[in-house]
Amino acid sequence: MKNLVLGVNDAIYRACIIVTGLAIVIMATIIPWGVFSRYVLGQGLGWPEPISVMLMVVFTFIGAAASYRAGAHMAVTSLTDRMPQGAQPVITLFVRLMMGAVALFMLIWGYKLCMATWNQFLSTLPSVRVGISYMPIPVGGFITLLFVIEQILYGDQYKRRAVNFEAAEEAKEAV
């Protein structure tokens, strides 16, 4: 069961990285196109800015979930590092539970926000529903919640990889 959960979360993590990478690439492509169109072609386009904002929301919420799993998300550990070794696991569990609460909040209230704005359309992109632009909030909350549960059950992903890498290196040296 553990390997199945970790394998599924690995796939979700990779998908998050791909989605956020594509969001940045597309954003970095369409913003200069909008500037070029406005100042060189003399014709301002209405779509690059709202699409870039939507892509930034995708990058922010999906990327935050991925960086949380990778242990690259912002964490201030100056207080917890100075605590006794016995208290650190308790504090770590508390922090993970609080992160789970934040993720659950994003999931529930992000979903409600999407539903409340579903019948509205973006003024700059009349064919796009406002609820779609908010969709990365509950999706990011759900993915983050999955990663929080994984950390509570199996520990940090980046530490598991380091331990597995060290074990593989020791096995190579033994041969």
Dihedral angle computed from the Cα positions of residues 23, 29, 35 and 40, in that order, rounded to the nearest 10 degrees: -160
pLDDT tens readout for residues 102-157 = 999 999 999 999 999 999 998 888 899 999 999 999 999 999 999 999 999 988 87
Reduced to 3 states (helix: H, G, I; strand: E, B; else coil), residue 59 is helix
pLDDT tens readout for residues 36-46 = 998 998 888 88
Query: Which pLDDT value is given to residue 82?
Result: 83
pTM of the model: 0.83
Q: Residue 31 above 60 pLDDT?
A: yes
Neighbours of 107 (CB within 10 A): 19
pLDDT tens readout for residues 59-69 = 999 999 999 99
The residues spanned by each domain of the chain are 2-174
